Chain A
Amino acid sequence: MRRALRMTLLLLVGAGLLRVALFTDLYLRYVKQGMRPLLIASGALLVLLAAAEAVSGARRREDDGHGDDEEQEHGHGHHASGTPRAAWLLLPPALSLLLWAPPALGAYTAARQPAQPVTRASDFDPLPATSPLPLTLSDFTRRVRQDDTQAIKGRVVRLTGFVTPGGRDGDWSLNRIIISCCAADARTVKVRVRSPHTPAADTWVTVTGTWRPGGTLGTASAPVALEARSVRKVAKPVNAYTDALLPAPSE
């Protein structure tokens, strides 16, 4: 009996890991891309363990007709072979991975976090001449707040992220969530956007527009804000927890 429980738990956890890492890209909702080989290896190992447990159980039963011989033998010591009670707690996450994987963090988390301070850049190259100019939200923030050459002034830029509505004057925020390790350390980069209408929360959009003047450009007083010319829905990227440029949308 205990053996069956143990086997089931190992199998479910292993299968859950394999499902999110090997058969789908769901693991990218929780951890970084680099974890994939580790997750697949762990899943496979757990499934193998479950199989070994089954085989050894079957063999024991054949031997002497007592499947749980092992437990009786260890009844007093309760160490090496019993199923610890805490093991049950693995069941909900395993089932969740298998059947009911929660979505990636989005508007709810982004709205409750302050904008992530971007790292300081020491010097800025001249901006390429392309227009609209694709930029990451961090790069845009840096150009607005740190670049005293004011190269961003008047330039048409293109930013991509997801929407959190609300805030003052009907503005909304364009966000990207960045993780270093797993979704528990999520941080958000944000750009305020003003456009005629606000897209629904959590929609992924590409916004084309210009920096909205205010304060002194190139200092911390400048608002990280965009006057939108166009807002277009895009598909949510598979690997969403980065502030990377997405491939340009086909015109």
Chain B
Amino acid sequence: MRVTGGTGTVVPVEGDPAASEEDEPGWPRYWPLLLLGAAVVPGGLLWVLHLGNRWMETPAMQAWRTVCLAVVVQALPFLLLGTLLSGAINAFVPARVFQRVLPRRPVYAVPVAGVAGVILPGCECASVPVANSLIKRGVTPAAAFTFLLSAPAINPVVLTATAVAFPGDPAMVLARLLASLGTASVMGWLWLWLGRPEWLRPVVRTSGHRTGRHRLREFRVGFQHDFLQAGGFLVVGAVAAATFNVTVPRSVLDTFSGTPWLSVGFLVVLAIVLAVCSEADAFVAASLSGFSPVARLAFMVVGPMVDLKLIALQAGTFGRAFAFRFSAATVVVAVLSSVLIGGVLL
């Protein structure tokens, strides 16, 4: 396990003296092979790199790389904020705080957690690690998932952005608030009813601060681990979103905008595929002026709850079995809730 290549970092050699003793006398036997390798490998590598470079510089690949990086760059600060918060919850907030704030019965804890989503001002990337840390601290998963869904959709930053994007249309803000809160709560109850713990990756229940360990160090190490993990999955999501973005031209999808039902379906698919951050999706929705208000509401309700980068993040945090089932159910509930509430209010 001695990794020194690539990054150019000099890594201190430690441990494993046996391995290095075997290495030394071993190498002369293979020296012709090594020499051949030394001659061929760099040349081959350069050739592959050259071809790869030419391919990467084609307009399509450049657009793909730009979109990919854009999603990562946009999401990283929020991911960092989310993992910071979750690290802080793990290290500094005692478990009894949650027991005191949330009602004992999970059925009541769900809507309370939904409304509590108001306090996390960030986009959806931040809420995944926070929800995870809530579960680790003994909050019932149903309530944590409700929080996970509602926080990015109903916090003041997002609602303000929605009001700005739809000037003179306060019904849209209200509809978004209600439809998102409704979806989040229904999903929480649905989990209580149908959810199975085995879908979740077994949670390493941390009891928070362990005596005899440095709190600040605990915080830093946990936060760092969560960030690196979630960051990796963010990249997976960004790659998926960019691939859809570049390979499926918008003009193909726009043919669906004619009929009302198809247009709702289309904007829902767009929300999942575009992976727009919840703080800005209202502006995107406002710009989709060819679509019905209900379809645009569905776009804003689904977007913060399900998209490619979120599915990747959830798969990384809670496990794949959970992420796919949960996301699919959320889409259905969110569409129903936006059609219902949008139909009444808009």
Q: B28-36, B144-152, B282-290, B320-328: which lies at the A interface?
A: B282-290
Please give the residue numbers on chain B whose beta carbons come within 8 Å of chain A beta carbons, in ascending order: 1-3, 7, 9, 11-12, 14-15, 59-60, 62-63, 65-74, 76-77, 80, 204, 206, 217-218, 220-222, 224-225, 228-229, 231-233, 235-236, 238, 241-242, 245, 249-251, 254, 274-277, 279-281, 283-284, 286-287, 289-290, 316
Q: A100-108, A145-153, A155-163: which lies at the B interface?
A: A100-108
Instruction: Verify A89–B290 contact, CB threshold 8 A.
Output: no
Instruction: Verify A52–B80 contact, CB threshold 8 A.
Output: no
Given contacts A106-B59, A119-B286, 6 further A-B contacts (CB under 8 A): A30-B70, A41-B77, A42-B77, A89-B236, A114-B254, A182-B276
Instruction: Verify B65–A113 contact, CB threshold 8 A.
Output: no
Give CA–CA (A187, B279) in the complex, Å: 17
A79 within 8 A of B: yes
Task: Encode contact with B along A84-116: 1 for CB under 8 Å, 0 otherwise.
Answer: 111111101100110001111111110011101
Which chain B residues lie closer than 8 Å to A53 at the CB level? 224
Report A62-99 residues with CB < 8 Å from chain B CB. Answer: 66-68, 70, 77, 79-90, 92-93, 96-97
A129 within 8 A of B: no
Chain B CB within 10 Å, residue with most, of A30, A89, A103: A89
A179 → chain B closest CB, angstroms: 8
Instruction: Verify B62–A103 contact, CB threshold 8 A.
Output: yes
Instruction: Verify B229–A84 contact, CB threshold 8 A.
Output: yes
Give CA–CA (A56, B231) in the complex, Å: 23
Q: A31-39, A191-199, A210-218, A223-231: which lies at the B interface?
A: A31-39
The closest CB in chain A to the CB of B291 belongs to: A117
Instruction: Verify A77–B7 contact, CB threshold 8 A.
Output: no
Instruction: Verify B74–A182 contact, CB threshold 8 A.
Output: yes
Give CA–CA (A14, B218) in the complex, Å: 21
Instruction: Verify A86–B59 contact, CB threshold 8 A.
Output: no
Instruction: Verify A97–B232 contact, CB threshold 8 A.
Output: no
Instruction: Verify B12–A61 contact, CB threshold 8 A.
Output: yes
Number of cross-chain contacts by CB at 8 Å = 188
With A80-B225, A97-B73 known as contacts, the answer to whether A185 contacts B274 (CB < 8 A) is yes
Which chain B residues lie closer than 8 Å to A87 at the CB level? 228-229, 231-232
Please give the residue numbers on chain A whose beta carbons come within 8 Å of chain B beta carbons, in ascending order: 1, 4-10, 12-13, 17, 20, 27, 29-31, 35, 38-39, 41-42, 45-46, 49, 52-53, 56, 61, 66-68, 70, 77, 79-90, 92-93, 96-97, 101-109, 112-114, 116-117, 119-120, 178, 180-187
Instruction: Verify B241–A119 contact, CB threshold 8 A.
Output: no
The closest CB in chain B to the CB of A72 belongs to: B15
Which chain A residues lie closer than 8 Å to B68 at the CB level? 93
With A8-B7, A117-B289 known as contacts, the answer to whether A90 contacts B228 (CB < 8 A) is yes
Give CA–CA (A17, B220) in the complex, Å: 20
15 A-B contacts (beta carbon < 8 Å): A1-B3, A13-B76, A42-B80, A68-B14, A79-B206, A79-B225, A83-B225, A86-B236, A90-B228, A102-B66, A108-B59, A108-B62, A108-B63, A109-B63, A180-B280
